[in-house]
A and B are shown apart, each in its own frame.
Chain A
Amino acid sequence: MQFSRKDLLGIRELEAFEIEHILQTAESFKEVNLRSIKKVPTLRGKTVVHLFYEPSTRTRTSFDIAAKRLSADTFSITASTSSMVKGETFLDTVKNLEAMKPDVLIVRHSASGAPHRIAARTSASVINAGDGMHEHPSQALLDMLTIRQHAGRLEGLTVLIVGDLAHSRVARSNIWGLTRMGSRVVVCGPPTLIPPHMDRMGAEVHDRLQEVIPEADVIMVLRLQKERQDQMLLPSLREYAVYYGVDRDKLRHARKDVLIMHPGPMNRGVEISPDVADGPSSLILDQVTNGVAVRMALLYLLIQREGAASGTADPSV
């Protein structure tokens, strides 16, 4: 099967079979990451540009390692968030990049929808590496890969997503992806951090954490941005930790085999207690490891789309 999309902008537009295909491809790349020489010539001669309008060491590093393990040439460009400020418009930057003929643009932007606008203007493949509060598809894919690796399946699982749902692109991508793959998704957070009509996205909405913990096969904890307090969304981080922080005590009624996840970086002691983050149920480091495999799969599938004819892209090489 061939992946026929030019871009990966969000999970919402992916069909279940496409997600399945990406996850399977990622499985095959996991093996490359275990070799002593972790490099294959699959994407030799291809150019991958990281276009980051918002700083993110973790995601950028993960994409960069993925590209380098596939032997692509990589470049990083960090642009100021509001390109208007410099008098150079957002699309000027993209046009300039386009002139350098990249194969893939990996775009991170604080404004929702920015990668979509870029994708419409460039012939390069665009991967959304996180846009505003909208989507973070590679994160959701690595989360799904990690859950499947430990629970053996996605279908029929109950995944509980806890925290700041209003501002979380990770939550959105996971809701679309998990529900499409047959999981039941329950979201839980203080009412100020649950946006209107989130149920219409396919998730069940709750605001009392203890009541929903016993049903969860997986608990996905979201990062809490500390400035939410200044925005009148929370009275204090302390109270947030009391009611929504995932700790040993709240997990007393959880399933014994419950899996704990977090997209990182963590505020230990706020949304997650240190013992839970480092405990036996935690998959947090597996998520990081799987991130590289998923991103290798995405780069491979998007570039293979055009390179297939010339036979340059073959993961088994």
Chain B
Amino acid sequence: MLDVLVRGARVIDPASGLDETADVWVVAGRVQRIAPRLDLPAERIEETRVVDGAGLWLVPGFFDMHVHLREPGEEYKETIATGTASAVSGGYAAVACMPNTNPVNDCAPVTEFILKRAEQAGSCTVFPVGAISKGLRGKELSEFGELRAAGAVAVTDDGRPVTDGRLMRRALEYARRFDLVVISHAEDLSLSEGGLMNEGAMSTRLGLRGIPWVAESAMVARDLMLAELTGSRIHIAHVSTEASVRLIREAKSRGVPVTAETAPHYFTLSDDVLSGFDTVYKVNPPLRSREDRKAVKEALADGTIDCIATDHAPHSLLEKDIEFEYAASGMIGLESAFPLVCGLVHEGVLTPGGAIAALTWNPARILDVPVGRLQEGAPATFTLVDPNAEYVIDADSFQSKSRNCPFHGRRVKGRVLLTAVEGKAAFVYRKP
């Protein structure tokens, strides 16, 4: 259990609107005080570690509401142990894991298994997300009540869209009874089928079948209208196009209960990185055009997109080191997210408070989970970062089992120094 005094860090807690230089005193793993200047009682000085926080930010532990932990079923790609170790070294104190495991998380035993594993082997808090449909087959609703009771915090068929509009409507209606948010992986399969990358000048040049922006945005439009019809909350996952942003912005302005996330790769990369057929850049939705990337950044800046999730999707070389056409979609993201988000702050796209809100309080509010804020008296869950530390991302140092990180070798600014989860130091950065 931590006994620590962080002196003079910039303390940012979007939940309470706090953003000022302060001292944070943790006693026996609990946040004792947050105040501009704290003097320790003489008898405590001995056992308290004092950390100079000058130039650092002390913020709530990050919460990633969209990761794939692969356990159960594909433990060779990632396990709950390695995935959560990866999370804490990226500054995350909590993650929500998607149900497309094997077996699918569509019933209580799987949810319970995930929670049990997370307790035994996990480095951080894990919130399971249940499936909308049994087996992700898109035919019948899974038992939301049972899932909720077992600990699921939302439902989604992520990895696949809910193709049947009627099923999506019923999911939205039924989820309300159990206070579950429905998360939409928006993709019109009839428009995206066979596609390998964003449709545009680059796909034409490379001769790779394209996925048009409308494959995402047409489905976003449907789901926004279903949310309006049912009055239920919908959350749009991994927003990647300008048109989706426009639709969400318009829906929000009319009061439709919608929230949205994007991932660091959609505001950092565009489809021109695919020129060498490198499968590490193959994701779904695909990396889009520069105009889309710009629209995603603007949407983060004006709050149209509420939060940043990584869609951490580990794959082994078996799925990635093959022909582009047959390679699996997805990239890992937990250990590269913070410097990329921090990049938006250095670029002037987001304020520090805005960036931290997108990583903490906003996703916590969307899923209504008790994380993502700093509170006196609560177990100490916080992240200490140096927003100005420059370095080169080295995927070989990652805790994730997989290496499908497109940012390996990239020069970035912003490093996670310490992740405290419920009073314990779950990650401490050590110079190599």
Residues of A within 8 A of B (CB): 12, 82-84, 89-91, 109-114, 116-117, 131-135, 169, 172, 195-198, 200-201
Contacts of B200 in A (CB 8 A): 196-197
Verify A134–B207 contact, CB threshold 8 A. Answer: yes
Residues of B within 8 A of A (CB): 199-201, 203-210, 276-277, 318, 321-326
Q: A111 CA to B206 CA in the complex, in Å?
A: 11
Contacts of B204 in A (CB 8 A): 195-198, 200-201
Verify A195–B210 contact, CB threshold 8 A. Answer: yes
Question: A113, A134, A200: which contacts B201 (Cβ < 8 A)?
Answer: A200
Contacts of A89 in B (CB 8 A): 318, 321-322
Contacts of A133 in B (CB 8 A): 207-209
Contacts of B318 in A (CB 8 A): 89
User: Nearest residue in B to A135 (C-beta to C-beta)?
Assistant: B207
Contacts of A117 in B (CB 8 A): 277, 323-324
Max chain A CB contacts within 10 Å: which of B276, B323, B324, B325?
B323
User: Nearest residue in A to B204 (C-beta to C-beta)?
Assistant: A195
Contacts of A131 in B (CB 8 A): 207
Q: A48 CA to B318 CA in the complex, in Å?
A: 28
Question: A91, A110, A169, A200: which contacts B322 (Cβ < 8 A)?
Answer: A91
Verify A112–B324 contact, CB threshold 8 A. Answer: yes
Verify A195–B322 contact, CB threshold 8 A. Answer: no
Contacts of A91 in B (CB 8 A): 321-322
Q: A114 CA to B199 CA in the complex, in Å?
A: 20
**Pairs across A and B, CB under 8 Å, 7 listed:** A84-B322, A90-B321, A111-B324, A113-B206, A117-B277, A134-B208, A135-B207
Q: A116 CA to B276 CA in the complex, in Å?
A: 8
Question: B201, B205, B277: which contacts A116 (Cβ < 8 A)?
Answer: B277
Other A-B contacts than A83-B323, A112-B208, 12 sampled, CB-CB below 8 A, are: A82-B326, A83-B322, A84-B326, A91-B321, A110-B325, A112-B206, A114-B325, A116-B277, A117-B323, A172-B207, A195-B210, A196-B199
Beyond A196-B199, A200-B201, whether A114 also contacts B323 by CB under 8 A is: yes
Beyond A89-B318, A89-B321, A90-B323, whether A132 also contacts B201 by CB under 8 A is: no
Contacts of B199 in A (CB 8 A): 196
User: Nearest residue in B to A87 (C-beta to C-beta)?
Assistant: B318
Contacts of A196 in B (CB 8 A): 199-201, 203-204, 210
Q: A169 CA to B204 CA in the complex, in Å?
A: 10
Verify A111–B323 contact, CB threshold 8 A. Answer: yes
User: Nearest residue in A to B323 (C-beta to C-beta)?
Assistant: A111
- Kindly provide the distance from the CB of B306 to the nearest chain A CB, expressed in whole angstroms: 31
Contacts of B207 in A (CB 8 A): 112, 131-135, 169, 172
- Kindly provide the distance from the CB of B330 to the nearest chain A CB, expressed in whole angstroms: 16
Contacts of A197 in B (CB 8 A): 200-201, 204
- Kindly provide the distance from the CB of A221 to the nearest chain B CB, expressed in whole angstroms: 19
